[in-house]
Amino acid sequence: MQKTEGIQKAENEKGFKHFESSPNMENTKTVADSRAETMHLVRQGHLNGTGRLFGGILMQWIDEVAAIVAMRHAGSSCITASVDNLQFIHGAHQGDMVVLIGRVTYVGTSSMEIRVDTYVEGADGMRRVINRAYFTMVALDECERPCRVPRLALISEEERAEWAAGEKRREMRALRRREGF
Ligand SMILES: CC(C)(COP(=O)(O)OP(=O)(O)OC[C@H]1O[C@@H](n2cnc3c(N)ncnc32)[C@H](O)[C@@H]1OP(=O)(O)O)[C@@H](O)C(=O)NCCC(=O)NCCS
């Protein structure tokens, strides 16, 4: 399978940096093309024994956003390969408005790293981060085999920094798999 060593930077005619591992410059999407935002109201059935939002429910909501982002980027069905850096920073409670924002941070050949930030939005519109997670999603073809995903056009400094960090996280995941963790 083709690996990311072949990735090289190029400028496309729109003038932004463009990571490309194939001569097909058409098959490229921006981070904004697949960004997704969902909202949920925390109800009694979502709570655990301590009266907080049950972690398993939040993980389902995060997984759904990651899947939406991945399907938008890949243009095909996608599955969750791994989850890491899932950090529960604060709890949420009944009546809270929970906002989840997902975006692609890195793409390999058939895999995509998706970052999902979860917030509680107050009545004043202010958002407080309660969770951050990175998912690896893999695009599948009609025979359910991993298939190639579009390249990612990086426009902002923040997107370039996420890509660089995503490369490191990918190496760490590969090391963990090789060592059986
Ligand atoms: C994910 C899965 C398709 C990978 O299959 P595989 O035979 O290892 O396929 P490949 O070796 O071709 O790897 C495909 C890609 O997945 C990545 N990958 C595989 N296992 C991974 C893992 N545990 N964590 C992160 N990425 C992983 C590979 O790095 C590769 O990425 P690349 O194409 O960008 O280089 C397979 O393990 C699977 O089907 N898992 C079950 C998924 C599932 O049921 N999820 C829950 C419901 S959605």
| Nearest CA owner, ligand 1 atom 36 | 81
Question: 117-171, pLDDT tens digit by residue?
Answer: 999 999 999 999 999 999 999 999 999 999 999 999 999 999 999 999 999 999 9
- Tell whether 181 is covered by a domain: no
- Tell whether 159 is covered by a domain: yes
Residues 117, 78 contacting (CB under 8 angstroms): no
Q: What is the pLDDT of residue 53?
A: 96
Residue 63 has pLDDT above 90, yes or no: yes
166: CATH: 3.10.129.10
- Tell whether 157 is covered by a domain: yes
In sequence order, which residues have a C-beta less than 8 Å from that of residue 118 and are 6 or more positions away? Answer: 58, 61, 62, 98, 99, 100, 101, 129, 130, 131, 132, 133
DSSP assignment string, 26-87: TSEEEHHHH-EEEEEE--GGGB-TTSBB-HHHHHHHHHHHHHHHHHHHHSSEEEEEEEEEEE
Q: What angle do CA 141, 61, 142 make, to 5 degrees?
A: 10
Which atom from ligand 1 is nearest to the alpha carbon of 144?
3
Q: How many angstroms separate the alpha carbon of residue 15 from the centre of ligand 1?
A: 33
- Tell whether 179 is covered by a domain: no
| Average pLDDT over all residues of the chain | 88
Q: What is the pLDDT of residue 26?
A: 58
**The whole model's pTM is what?**
0.87
The residue-averaged pLDDT of 58-77 equals 98
Our count of domains for the chain comes to 1
Q: How many angstroms separate the alpha carbon of residue 25 from the centre of ligand 1?
A: 25
Nearest to 31 by CA among 174, 132, 166: 166
Expressed as residue numbers, the domain containing 66 is 4-174
